[in-house]
Chains A and B, each alone.
Chain A
Amino acid sequence: MKHRARTPVRNIATAAALSQRPAAIGAANEEFRGALIALLPRLRRFAYGLTGDMDRADDLVQESCVRALANAAQWQAGTRLDSWMYRIAQNCWFDQMRARKVRGEVVDIEAQVDLSDGDGRDTIEHRESLALVSAKLSALPRDQQLLVGLVCFDGMSYKEAAAALDIPIGTVMSRLSRARQALADALDPRLAPVTRAASVSKSGDA
């Protein structure tokens, strides 16, 4: 007898929410999907920066795209897709990190920092350095991460980044300089003492 009137719905809340999903989800239009596909290389790069690992980056991009398409109705055509998607990727990444902490996996930035203790070579080309920078970037305030993504990764001018995030250009510069100082240690340990001394007042996020 294969007849089953009921199935083991273990997550009632989710199932209920599912039945109320707005029609807009299914109607996420082709233009949105096309723009999202065009953005994928840059989105992967941003995710790579956050995760420090290409496989994790791709998983993050995939989750972000699914989440974005489920919320496509919230995105307004004509506004920037890149910063919107970067924010979704950040949310997904923070959720993942929180979940890992809950599960007791090691999320220890200092442990990754240890990887960089080496022979003093130019470590930029090395995977350890990438992991180190990524760990630091991942620990930055999200507003600073966004600016690193838009300006440093994507090559936007400060003015373009200010427009993309709808913030004053002065805020772009103060946030970005704090981010860059935080990352400088990871980028070049030889400069670490100097940058630490030069960034006495970098707490908070304007």
Chain B
Amino acid sequence: MSQATHDYFPDWMLMAYADGELEPHERDAIAAYVANDPAAHLRLAAFMRSGHALATLFDQPMSEPVPARLIETVRQAGRRAPSGESGLAARLAGLLTPYLLKPSPRLSWSGLWPIAMAVPAGVLAVALVVLASSHVDTGHEPGLTPQMRLALETAPSRPAGAIEALRSTVTPVVTFKTGPGQFCRQYVATAADGARVAGVGCRDPQGQWRIEAEAPYTGVTAQAAGGYSPAAGPSSSALDAAIDRLITGDPLSAGDEAALIARSWRSLP
């Protein structure tokens, strides 16, 4: 019998053979080896199969266009918008960047999002630009479910970034007070099919929550460099306008908010 039947070729060598990585004389030796050893032949077959399968199994991205949002992310992430550039991203970047680096007393509502504190301005700007063109329904609350009411009444606000993780149906993100002394909360609501809206609900003196404004929110997933995964704050210029119309003073701190919820939304005298 051939000398090859007494050799043992390690797995890595069979793999190298399967991958066409061996020199001619090594190839001959392996060929003789597997021809005389059914077990080795199976080992080789496994490597050949895995090589072929792995080369094709995940190939879908190679035959389809890269999603525009990814290209846009690479083009824009971490970049400060040039002055004079128009568009939502540029506008937000312009608003947010100086604020983030040096707090300013004059600020668009956009900067109030807790998430804005946690995401580089450019990232936020890019993420926000992915927001669907928003139409805003104001004034009435066709979709105020008991669950939503419960969330607005009792749930603590969370950074908007936590929403993706929580997959809550309704997640408040910030609480603030209005001129007449009512409290309002901005929230992100997720429908069963994954669709999201961002909105503002206010609590009237009778304890009823009413939606003041709502706009589509497309579940932006731009991620911060810091390792957690904040989505962009839900935002739209129309929603911002509604909030700017309502808000007085600062949004509540987490502690104040918790105390307020514990008192069933009764302000301290």
Contacts and interface: CB of A to CB of B under 8 A. Distances in A.
Interface residues of B, number: 77
A130 B15 contact: no
Interface stretch (B40-48, B132-140, B146-154, B204-212): B40-48
B80 A10 contact: no
A152 B53 CA distance: 9
B266 interface: no
Contacts of A157: 21
B57 A194 contact: no
Nearest to B225: A70
Q: How large is the interface on A (under 10, 10 to 19, 20 to 34, 35 or more residues)?
A: 35 or more
A100 B221 CA distance: 15
A113 interface: no
Contacts of A173: 12-13, 15-16
Interface stretch (B24-32, B83-91, B118-126, B195-203): B118-126
B100 A62 contact: no
A53 to B, nearest CB: 11
A191 interface: yes
Contacts of A146: none
B35 interface: no
Contacts of B42: 191, 194
A44 B114 CA distance: 30
Contact of A65 (B15, B74, B166, B174): B74
Question: Chain A CB within 10 Å — which of B50, B55, B254 has the most?
Answer: B50
B122 A26 contact: yes
A1 B249 contact: yes
Interface of B: 10-16, 19, 21, 39, 42-43, 45-47, 49-51, 53-55, 57-62, 66-67, 69-71, 73-75, 77-80, 100-103, 105-107, 111-112, 114, 117-118, 120, 122-123, 159, 165-166, 174, 179, 221-229, 244, 247-254
17 contacts: A2-B244, A4-B250, A6-B250, A7-B250, A8-B112, A17-B226, A25-B120, A45-B61, A69-B77, A99-B228, A103-B166, A173-B13, A184-B49, A188-B53, A191-B45, A194-B39, A198-B39
Given A4-B249, A187-B50, 8 more contacts: A5-B105, A7-B103, A8-B253, A48-B60, A69-B225, A187-B49, A191-B42, A195-B46
